[in-house]
Structure 1
Amino acid sequence: MTSSSSPRWSQLKERGGLLPLNLMLLFYRLGGRKLCQLILYVVIFWYWIFASSARQASQLYLQKLHRFAGEHSPFEKQPNWKNSFQHLLQFGLCILDKIEGWLGRISEQQLELHGHEQLRAQYQKGAVILVSHFGNIELLRALKSEHVQKINVLVYQKHAAKFNQFLKQLNSHADISLLPVDELGIETAIYLQEKLDQGEWIIIAADRIPVQSGRVQAIPFLGCDANWPQGAWILASLLKVPVLAIFSYQFDRALHVYVHQLAEQLSFPRQTRCEAMQNIMRRYVELLEQHCIRAPYQWFNFYNFWNK
């Protein structure tokens, strides 16, 4: 249940819609990455000071991560306000990386690939790719730069149509389409099956509950129970295609893409449905925990994920 003092992500107001992206694109075209980085430091500092809920959520996440990782923690001591600023700054820089990805400025040669053969096997074939608000999924554009592969990203945002138009302005050959959905159900599955039959990929975030109340499963994340949406997993089981988990992010000044195959097909037998779903969801969360420990500042859910 969601606490009244800690709003769900969907209740948090979007600051400026697409205006920040358009401004960042303008600055990028005027002065390149260096000018954008300079501006980002100022903008993120202002945001860090006045967006107290995001700052507190960042610090909560970093502290939970530190305790959970123990001797493997990426921090020498308990994370504090300085770490939360660095966390928000990395979010700003990730937006800049996204713009370069949309513009096609990131090549496959710039990436450190892990498990790429599992992704390569799905070129021109239907697949469900599970992601989270971690890192920069736009790096997939560089991975498939030599392959014509249509990508559909399911989002719970009302401005998806405007964002699609924004992507076309950036790159007329953009092959990523945002599909707005209120919740994941049978109608959505039928529509997506047509996409998969055409050899397209479906990308679904496995860490956001639909705007309209959806079914959730409590699974420990960084040592404390958190609610994870079941919708992505139910949908993947209905579609009967390979299911991959992809984590793409910057680490040690390099761009890394990790591909994990979760299942050739997901199947949840009626008698053991809840247990089977919980097991695969827990496996995904454990993978996410590993990547959070490796690159703690790449987790971009700036609200109380645990609601506790």
Structure 2
Amino acid sequence: MTSTARMAEASAHEAWQGHTDGRPWMLRSLIAMFRRIDIRCLYGVMAVVVVFYMLFNRRGYRAIRDLFRRRLGYGRRQTLRAVYATHYRFGQVILDRFAVYAGQRFEVEIEHNEYYRELVARPGGFIMVSSHVGNYELAGYSLHPAEKRFYALVYAGEKETVMQNRAKCFAGNNIEMVPVMGDMSHLFVANRALMEGNIVGMPGDRLFGSQKSVQCDFLGASARFPLGPFALAVQREVPMLSIFVMKEATKRYRIFVDRIDTGDVNQPKRLRMEYAARSFAAQLERIVRRYPTQWFNFYNFWE
């Protein structure tokens, strides 16, 4: 019944792979359970399950431990509590996704929704940059861009059951999922979407496909961020927004929307791309410091 994400890691960012654990019948059963059981009951089960996950997923455990010890300066006991809280919060977020598949709804507050609505209402496409903190998927059920179609780039290796339920939930929200492929074909879809004045959602904190990256100062050390989203925005001359969807209570989330500065238009494009990436990294750092146990990159992000 476990539905935490398997983190298989090699020696660098680009080696990350992840998908929801569990056989299809188990995932379907979980959805059926949410139609009959209070979500807090399954949270209770998750509180025990994550202990075993921490024991057997040592690489993920060490990566999160180092986040709190080396980047955030926590003491030993505080780190242990924070590592457990991170795994537990991650389990809750995964369960929340399946609760949505079962028809449950969450209370959502949006900060600076006017930035989003302004770009949706005017002609031209734009890019929304997400990250692996909180529960970004929930944004697709909360932001309803009736005026434009939203093309969300997603991991191509996810389980079919999860992809089918995502598609079902997204169907009424004018959202289309675009799997990130090794042949980079997803970039053609993204380019076309922007040319047609639509919205493209891209992750801004992991290297998928292309290995082009930008070194950014992040939590006191240098880390690689993908160049792709920022290069696309500068090349197409479209605005960018960051979006972070953070869990605040059992049935409540807060969405943070902010503008990403792409720098002086008179500067070389490469400098503008790097400037935008570093602007996003600074926004992500503020979110991580505010919600440290919702950082879900279970590998050595600074390697």
> Normalization by structure 1: what TM-score?
0.80
Residue 287 in 1 paired to residue 283 in 2? yes
Q: Once the two structures are superposed, what CA deviation does each residue of 1:148-205 show, in whole Å capped at 9, x if it has no partner?
A: 75422112423476643232456763643321123696x6444224334555321100
Residue 304 in 1 paired to residue 300 in 2? yes
Deviation at 1:219, TM superposition (A): 1.2
More displaced 10-residue stretch of structure 1: 128-137 or 251-260: 251-260
Residue in structure 2 matched with residue 71 of structure 1 by the alignment: none
Residue 226 in 1 paired to residue 205 in 2? no
The CA distance in 2 between the partners of 1:206 and 1:226, in whole Å, is: 12
Count residues with an aligned counterpart: 291
- Tell me which of 181, 190, 193 is aligned to 1:192: 190
Q: CA RMSD in A?
A: 3.3
Structure 1 gap segments, 5+ residues each:
68-74
Deviation at 1:38, TM superposition (A): 2.4
Residue in structure 1 matched with residue 260 of structure 2 by the alignment: 262
- Tell me which of 262, 268, 272 is aligned to 2:268: 272
The CA distance in 2 between the partners of 1:297 and 1:172, in whole Å, is: 31
Q: Secondary structure at the match of 2:268?
A: helix
Sequence identity, in percent?
23
> Normalization by structure 2: what TM-score?
0.81
The CA distance in 1 between the partners of 2:187 and 2:263, in whole Å, is: 14
Residue in structure 1 matched with residue 21 of structure 2 by the alignment: 16
Alignment of 1:152-167 (within 5 A): 152-159=151-158, 163-167=162-166
**Compared with structure 1, are the counterparts of its residues 189 and 5 closer, same or farther at alpha carbon in structure 2 (3 Å cutoff)?**
closer
Deviation at 1:305, TM superposition (A): 0.6
Q: Once the two structures are superposed, what CA deviation does each residue of 1:75-112 show, in whole Å capped at 9, x if it has no partner?
A: 687742232111000001111222344556436xx323
The CA distance in 1 between the partners of 2:224 and 2:162, in whole Å, is: 28
Q: Secondary structure at the match of 1:305?
A: coil
**Compared with structure 1, are the counterparts of its residues 275 and 194 closer, same or farther at alpha carbon in structure 2 (3 Å cutoff)?**
closer
Residue in structure 2 matched with residue 180 of structure 1 by the alignment: 179
Structure 2 gap segments, 5+ residues each:
1-8
* Residues 55, 302 of structure 1: 8 Å contact kept: yes
**Compared with structure 1, are the counterparts of its residues 283 and 111 closer, same or farther at alpha carbon in structure 2 (3 Å cutoff)?**
same
**Compared with structure 1, are the counterparts of its residues 144 and 252 closer, same or farther at alpha carbon in structure 2 (3 Å cutoff)?**
closer
* Residues 154, 204 of structure 1: 8 Å contact kept: yes
Alignment of 1:71-150 (within 5 A): 79-102=78-101, 105-106=104-105, 110-123=107-120, 126-145=125-144, 147=146, 150=149
The CA distance in 2 between the partners of 1:223 and 1:306, in whole Å, is: 10
The CA distance in 2 between the partners of 1:122 and 1:55, in whole Å, is: 40
* Residues 268, 277 of structure 1: 8 Å contact kept: no
